[in-house]
Amino acid sequence: MKKSIVITSALLISVTIPLTTFAKTTSCKIPSTNQVEQLFEDWNNALKTRDTQKIISLYANNGVLLPTLSNTPRTNHKQLKDYFITFVKNHPSSELDSYVIRSGCNWATNTGLYTFTFFSDYPKGKEMVTARFTYSYEYIHGKWLITSHHSSLLPNSKTPTEDKKEMQELES
C-alpha cells in the first residue's frame, strides 16, 4: 500500500512542478478594445510610410497574409515584403468602416470592413476600394504581432457610402 502512495505522490509531484513553473512564467495579456484599435492604427500608419520593413515588422515570423490585391498567400517575411513593395507604390491608406473585436488571453481579432484609398500617378488620381478584413493578433515575446491577416475586395460594386448605409439599416 505504501508503494502505491509513494508512486502516486511522485507522479503527482512530477506533473505539478512543471505546471506550477509554467504558470509562474507565462503571463496572460487581454487587450482592451482601444488597444486592438491601436494595433490597426499602427499597421495603417506603417502602411502610409511606404516602408516595407516597418510594415512587416508588425507580423509574426510565421504570420500569414491573404492579400487584398493578390491571389498568392504570403507566409513569411520575405513573401510579405514582396507583396508590400508593390502594394505601397500607390500610396495606400485605409479607414475602418465597421468592425468587431474579440480578445482573450494573449490573442485578439479584429474583423470587418475597411476602405482603402489609393493614389495612382500620385498625387493626381485617387481610387477608393472597400474590402473585408480579419486581423488575428498574438502576444509573442512581449509584443502584439499579426499572426493572420485576411483582406479581400467585396464581391459587389457598392460604394463605401452604400455599404455604411446598409450596415446602419441592419443594425436598426
The mean per-residue pLDDT over the stretch 18-47 comes to 82
Residue 66: its H or E element:
strand 59-66
Q: Where are the domains of the chain?
A: 29-171
The mean per-residue pLDDT over the stretch 130-137 comes to 96
- Which pLDDT score, from 0 to 100, does residue 41 have? 98
CA distance 99 to 36: 11
Judge: domain 29-171, CATH 3.10.450.50.
yes
42-85 tens-digit pLDDT: 999 999 999 999 999 999 999 999 999 999 999 999 999 999 99
The mean per-residue pLDDT over the stretch 146-172 comes to 77
CA distance 4 to 136: 48
pTM for the whole thing? 0.76
